[in-house]
Amino acid sequence: MIIAQISDTHIDLNHHNSAQRLRDMERVVTAINALDPGPEVVIHTGDMAHNGTAEKYEAALDVLKNLSVPLYAAAGNRDDRTLIRANFPTGRNLMSGMDFLQYEVDDYPVRLIALDTVSRESNMGDYCEKRAQSLACALNASADKPCVLFMHHPPFEVRESRYRWQYVSHDAVERLSDVIGGHNHLVGLFCGHSHRQSSGTIA
């Protein structure tokens, strides 16, 4: 299964390069649609809008609606969870009755799980016990199918970044890592936030 990733587009309407950001997103959409073979799905790993407002998501959606395949989005520290829910599909909610945007999509050969790593107090990431329990239940529920996680803040050291660790505390990283470890059906992890391109193996 081919998955295309977009991240940190920071769509704005009042920035000196707002028009360029929209043009860049248009180029990305065109490039994804031209892939052969093409992806079955596109994921956006957060900070779709820069300080999310309804107008900024409307501008982003006006471009992203031209994708030839479905798009699913994770929340970044600049995003508004409610507006993402209102404008984009979010699969099955894994945390009903709570504000966190954590959900799964089980319509493809690989199961997609969006994680909410947003902190209320910081631009850095966080992952509380409630979110960790939700993820653990989701992973344990279908261990017979390959699964990928997508989130905004990377739960590993990003050596190319000025801030190598992207979370408010190492406890949050360990909490997430403890849940992920030992699940052999977990085959991929997609992240954003650091504005750096990197890849590797963490488990």
List, for residues 52-107, the tens digit of each pLDDT value: 899 999 999 999 999 999 999 999 999 999 999 999 999 999 998 899 999 999 99
- Count the helix, strand and coil residues of the chain and give each as a percent rounded to the nearest 5: 30, 15, 55
**pLDDT, tens only, 162-189:** 666 778 898 998 999 999 988 999 999 9
pLDDT digits (tens, 9 = 90+) for 110-169: 999 999 999 988 989 999 999 999 999 999 998 889 999 999 998 876 766 666 677 889
The domain ranges of the chain are 3-190
SS3 label, residue 56 = helix
| Confidence (pLDDT) at 26 | 98
Domain spanning 3-190 has what CATH number? 3.60.21.10
In contact, 84 and 100? CB cutoff 8 Å: no
The pTM of the full predicted model, rounded to 2 decimals, is 0.92
User: How far is the C-alpha of 186 from the C-alpha of 139, rounded, in Å?
Assistant: 8
Q: What is the dihedral of CA 182, 188, 193, 197, to 10 degrees?
A: 130
Rounded to whole angstroms, the Cα distance separating 2 from 39 reads 4
DSSP string, 136-152: HHHHHHTTTS-EEEE-S
